[in-house]
Amino acid sequence: MKRILLAAVGLVVLAAVAVAGSFWRAPFWWFEKLGRAGLQSAGLTRAVTAGPRGPLVYWHGGSGATLVLLHGANDQAGAWALVAKPLLTGNRLVAVDLAGHGESGPADGSLAVADLLTGVERVIEATAPGERVRIVGNSLGGYLAMLYAARHPERVDHVILLNGAAVQAAPGAQVSLLPKTREEARAAIEALTAPQSPRVPDYVLDDLVRRAPTSPLARLLQQPIDLSLEGNLAAFATPVTLVWGEADRYMTVAYAEGVAKQLPAARLVTLPGCGHVPQRECPQALVAAVSKALSSPPTPAAPAAATSPVMP
């Protein structure tokens, strides 16, 4: 019996060492696994529907009005793991793996923004047919939320732009999101996160460099951006709340202010001490901001009242 126990302990130790080695070699793979486990733990269920170029994976659960969550480039639905459970209160959540991201196809080859937008359309039609939805979009996901609302204004009650692109614009910090060296990866991470955030280990930066050439973002950049709202924001019909991490030096608060001024019904809410991906970096503040925004969408500004001429 003693030998059996010792052998069992030895196997556990070996397994732990193997897992630790695997995490060191491929931390982003583990981050994705942990994120998806977090969605399941929050009460969401994995589902699949047909996409434009392969299966589309999404997670859904809860009851109430449908709230669609769209992640950014090179991310996946697990990005919402830390905020999924509190956002389930009063909402039916749908967290999408964008086309070419996470477990959604296509697994390789170039990507077009149109592929991603069609994927969003397919998931919304599968989960909320004929219904109006609210959409929270982070980074690239914000761009897709705006495109979807512009194409289907009758289907969207409210867009929450979470450090998200509304139009193409020069970023703030000039960093590479497809780093070729550890130093470039460090500069990108520091531009995207708050100064007080934990320092990212070198082995994580090295994995970011290894993944960059074949990442979804690299695949998106293989062809020109094929859809845009440039110059059309003044006609955007859907209310937009811009929720912005103040510490984001890649897409700055100044960018958000410029976008808000162009939209007919917009409100800007800033999150101190948060960077480009608030749902990961400061989940409690993000949940509070989103919940408040959902309860009170912005309304179009009233036109200035006409002034009566001054009589002599």
209 or 170: which carries more pLDDT confidence?
A: 209
Q: Which CA distances in Å does 49 have to 53, 80, 132, 198, 217?
A: 11, 20, 20, 37, 23
Q: What is the pTM assigned to this prediction?
A: 0.90
Strands 133-138 and 240-245, sheet pairing: unpaired
Model confidence pLDDT, tens digit, residues 242-271:
999 999 999 999 999 999 999 999 999 999
Mean confidence (pLDDT) of the chain: 89
Q: Of the given ranges (23-37, 145-159, 190-204, 281-295), which has the lowest mean pLDDT?
A: 23-37
Q: Which two tokens stand for residue 70?
A: 């769209």
> What are the residue ranges of helices labelled H in the chain?
2-25, 27-42, 81-87, 113-127, 140-151, 182-192, 202-211, 216-220, 253-262, 278-281, 283-295
Report the CATH number of the 33-295 domain: 3.40.50.1820
Q: Which CA distances in Å does 285 have to 224, 243, 269?
A: 36, 10, 11
For the chain, percent of residues with pLDDT exceeding 90:
81
Q: Say how far apart CA 84 and CA 45 lie, in whole Å.
A: 12
Model confidence pLDDT, tens digit, residues 127-184:
999 999 999 999 999 999 999 999 999 999 999 999 998 887 666 788 999 999 999 9
Q: Where are the domains of the chain?
A: 33-295
Q: Say how far apart CA 295 and CA 108 lie, in whole Å.
A: 40
Q: What is the model's pLDDT at position 169?
A: 66
> pLDDT class for 230, splitting at 50, 70, 90?
confident
Query: Cβ-count burial of 15 within 10 angstroms (0-12 exposed, 13-18 middle, 19+ buried)?
Result: exposed
Q: Say how far apart CA 109 and CA 99 lie, in whole Å.
A: 12
Q: What is the model's pLDDT at position 231?
A: 85
> pLDDT class for 224, splitting at 50, 70, 90?
confident
